[in-house]
Chain A
Amino acid sequence: MSAFQGRVSSALADATLKIAIDRTTNTARTKRAAAIGAWPEFAEARELGRDIKDHVIANLEYYLTQFEANAIKTGAKVHWARTGQEACEIVVGICKAANAKSVTRSKSMLGEEIGLPHALEAAGIERVETDLAEHIIQLAGEKPSHIIWPALHKTREQVGELFRANHTDPGALASVEQMVNSARRNLREKFMAADVGISGANFLIADTGGICTVTNEGNAELTTTPPRVHIVTVGIEKLVPSMTEAMTMLRLLVRSATGAELTQYTTFHTGPKRPGDLDGPEEFHIVLVDAGRTKMLAEGLAEMLRCLRCGACMNHCVVFRQIGGHAYGSTYPGPMGSVITPSQDGIEQFQDLPRACTLNGQCGEVCPVAIPLPKLIRGWRTKAWVQGYEPAISKTALLLWRFLALRPGLYQFASNIALRFMPIFARSGWIAKMPLAGGWTTYRDLPSPQGGTFLSQYKAKHRKAAK
């Protein structure tokens, strides 16, 4: 059993996990469907969104250069990181130069991807996660299980217990509102005391050099405004040419993610505090991170760089909805994670991810930028097959089947022999157990075949008719 299958078994055995997954993903799907249903131009916007991203990815160097020049004009400092490790070193270096004891962070999957939480801790800097779900994850010492709802795997009852054990003066924690208020009380002083605030970015606006963050809790604003230093860590694929394109992307992103028309907070940050500004950071750093993105481009995964990180693909994935995010064992779970992870961390270690997919296509259908996720997932299976990672048993079976499928006469002969033996295992039409069929019959009965093959029955009938 692979490590993946081990995690799957534990996840499937966890009834509470399934309750937690269903509560959030069912609501997400219902709300997204309503939002898309109320947006007659969705299909057009989706094509536009796809074209905008493809255009930027095809002209990445041009827009990155433009973004950098404009960001510098606003007073921002722009840093380039080829790898996650380089990015972490840059961030830790800025924190140390600022003599930072405490850092607040608003939710960023890129931060998770590059291992920033760990890097900050290793550097002895206090890290305070300010997104409510990330706060829960930090208290539990876990990793996010969803890219929009990092604590999706926890029920509100479990969160209540966690807050009771960890919060100062939690008070009553019977309702979600009480839990939110307890988190707010516990986080508020941390916000104000932090030396550095670290955020991600949903968009980089090339023609202004600004960045855009979308949140529902206002924590990004409290993370980025009071501290002396604001650091943005962001993947280079987040570029859009201008505010016009950012608006198209925002509409697609938010409706697909939560089903709302807009997030509670949509903030554009451009440079540090200027003379006369009432607030804002004194230093504004933007760390542009590659971490495998140009590699994906070179590997034929350019379409994946369209991804807005909305999470719709996983909310609609039948596999994700059974096993949750942690079972994938990767930063990014679900369909988009099954495409990104093998590129970032290797197909050998993560060959289960593209395989554990029914290729039903719903992820690609709901993707707001029309990423052909099933095609890309199948592409990884092709790479895994070519590189010899297909497990020996299934490879042998497939090659034997292929040998027969290319020899129709032999195929019919072999089929008819197999079909003659199968009914031996059947009881009133159904097979509950049969050698070599355990993958099917562990959980399902197999209908016993109806005599010989269709082709042989058809041939026999025609012979009779001809006589």
Chain B
Amino acid sequence: MAEFLAYLIAGLATGAIYALAAIGFTLVWQTSQTINFAQGEFVMLPAILILAAVKLFGLPVWLAVIAGIAAFIALFGWGFKLVIVDPMIRHGVLPLAIATMALSIIMKEGAKDGFTAEAQRFPSLVPQETVSLLGISISLQHVAIIIVACLAIGALQWFVTQTKTGRQMQASAQNPNVALILGIPVAQMVMLTFLINAALAALASILISPIYLAKFSNGEVIGLFAFIAAIVGGFNQVRGALAGGLLVGVIDSLAAAYISTSYRLAVPLVLLVAIILVKPEGLFGRKEERGV
């Protein structure tokens, strides 16, 4: 039982990180129909940028973190929207999705060739210790991840529902035409979701890299799990992406412990197929009308 709870907490921690990535993915999908196949690389890269700032420019860690995140948000929030999404979206959803695949290759190969192909240690915010609580050994790092991720998601939820800008953003996502008529600056709101997406990805990167090390190829698995989380959650809601992320994280952790380490990846994949078969609108999604 104690063992089970420990795996559960570890799963919630990685799940919280998948949730961050899945929420960003969902936001960007909602406002601009961008299926970002580079989402995993978005989580991989910030840690690499930070390490590069430390190793190549000799910045102190705290400054490197700030500089790395700022550079990432500028490049892959603002720049991504401006250089890739804006000129492409007029050609339709498909070319844009393919462009994000090309982007994922560029990011991955860029990290490998521009920095290193080796996995790198990444500084952790909290000591890598475990404490014993009621007979369960809990990693402080996992607890910290859950707390930070929950705070971030809580803040986002507060922003979206309680502030004027947040509500405008929501309106722009749900019905851009009506939002325009209401005088909402839709273009800025869409841009805002891209910035939020980049910020969430950067946060996820800082949280996950101390555990899994920073490596150019990390994006594949993270991206896959973020997609699964988004679909399981319903593809169209922050709430769903959060629940989907946690669920996928827990399932992954338990599968690794109790089923097979070499096939742990397969279990969430089976979940994905099961969801698509049984409840394709996702656990929290609304059924879509047969449309014209």
- Are A and B part of the same complex? no
